[in-house]
Amino acid sequence: MTVASRKHQAMYVTIWYTMGCILWTAFVYLTGNFAVLFTTGTNQANLNWMYVHNAVGLIFTPIGLAIAYYFIPRASNTPLHSHKLSMVGFWSLAFVYVWTGAHHMIHGPISQWLQTIAIAFSVMLLIPVWAVVYNLFATMKGQWHQLRESVALKFLMSGVVFYLLTCFQGPMHSLRTVNAIVSKTDWIPGHAHMAVLGCFSFFAIAGTYFAVPKIWGKALHSQSLANWSYWMLMIGGLGFFTTLWLGGFWQGWQWNNWSIPFIDTVIALKPIWIVRFVSGVLMFLGIVMFAYNILATAMGANEEAAA
Ligand code: HEM
């Protein structure tokens, strides 16, 4: 009703994505649950994957992009490069995402034509992805120097790069030949974590760093701790994602060679998992620093107000 009774006719792209997220969440949740109740076997599996993929594409993605579209122009004090392009991104996402669920079952027990449709639509997703990434990069044209000063912008623009990498990786591993190597290996959590931890968490952290000092009308508790949290999450994240991709690709390569016993493929990955563990610890420390900084800002402001 807030949107319906608005004063300004034009809606900024963040409102489109937020409204999309609210409506699609209801649709995805209902279809997902009905699918489980009223279908069985491979039909159920297929509908279940439609549910899963829409959860990432029609719930996480729109709300994440809503944050990025709002905070990048705000934090850099620069208008969005193109409203038209942002609409191309929104509507092409709305049209394309819903047909891609079956790419989770490539080489699985479903019709080949269904797999081919899912692959074709997965590749088409490059259109909304490019529209978003180009628009946000073009917005920052001539403004890149601001990244030195603003932790929020550092997180936001790194998130955009992670979004591009995730969504380039996605269409590629939908292809039958690539999928035959990487499916069910560490590569897939590498992809999923780069999306949710690398991209959307970075957007959310940036939004929090930007908004909390404004809400409490007080400077951030520590700028240098915020920078440390960025580098911990960035270095930890890069270590985490790259070890998962490299390890996953290697794992898939070995699994495709049937003469290698499975247990040997587990042992071979041990050094890679150790690097991943260290990277995970760095990410954890980054999150703790972030949480402490935000809490200290809010509590410091409350104490000042009480005094
Ligand atoms: C262009 C966009 C994308 C495409 C085409 C794509 C494609 C894929 C494909 C083909 C798989 C399955 C691989 C397999 O198991 O064989 C997959 C897995 C996954 N993707 Fe994406 N992806 C995209 C973006 C995203 C985004 C933005 C997110 C998160 C918000 C995401 C989250 C996941 C997750 C969680 C899985 C693992 C599901 C599981 O097996 O449990 N993806 N993706």
For residue 202, give both structure tokens: 């970075």
Atom of ligand 1 nearest to the CA of 64: 30
294 domain residue, yes or no: yes
Return the structure tokens found at 60.
């996480």
Q: Give, using CA atoms, the residue closest to atom 14 of ligand 1.
A: 183
* Residue ranges, the chain, pLDDT below 50: none
Classified as helix, coil or strand, 40 is: coil
Q: Which residue type sits at 140?
A: M
Cβ of 193 less than 6 Å from ligand 1: no
Q: Is 54 in the pocket of ligand 1 (CB under 6 A)?
A: no
Residue 2 lies in a domain: no
| Residue located via tokens 């997965």 | 122
pLDDT tens column, 35-78: 778 889 988 888 889 888 999 999 999 999 999 999 999 999 99
Q: Ligand 1: which of 114, 191, 200 to mutate, most ligand atoms within 8 Å of CB?
A: 191
Do the Cβ atoms of 139 and 81 come closer than 8 Å? yes
Distance CA 180, CA 183 (A): 6
Domain annotation covers residue 264 = yes
Euclidean distance between CA atoms 147 and 144, whole angstroms: 6
Separation CA 100–CA 113 (nearest Å)? 13
- For residue 56, the ligand 1 atom closest to its alpha carbon is 30
- Tokens (6 digits) for 118: 């899912």
pLDDT in the model for residue 302: 66
**Is the shortest distance between the CB of 188 and ligand 1 below 6 Å?**
yes
Whether residue 185 has its Cβ less than 6 Å from ligand 1: no
Q: Which of 50, 65, 104 has the most ligand 1 atoms within 8 A of CB, as the residue to mutate?
A: 104
pLDDT at res. 35: 77
Specify the number of domains making up the chain.
1
Angle, in degrees to the nearest 10, between helices 223-255 and 201-216: 170
Residue whose CA is closest, atom 22 of ligand 1?
170
Q: Rounded to the nearest whole angstrom, what is the distance from the C-alpha of residue 53 to the centroid of ligand 1? A: 7
- Which residue bears the tokens 């009703």? 1
* Residue at 307 is within a domain: no
Flag whether 88 is in a domain.
Answer: yes
pLDDT value of position 299: 87
Q: Are 206 and 233 in contact (CB under 8 A)?
A: no
- Determine the structural domain holding residue 259 and report its residue range: 13-300
* Distant-in-sequence, close-in-space partners of 168: CB < 8 Å, separation ≥ 6: 126, 129
171 ligand 1 Cβ < 6 A = yes
The domain that holds 260 is classified in CATH as 1.20.210.10
pTM of the model: 0.93
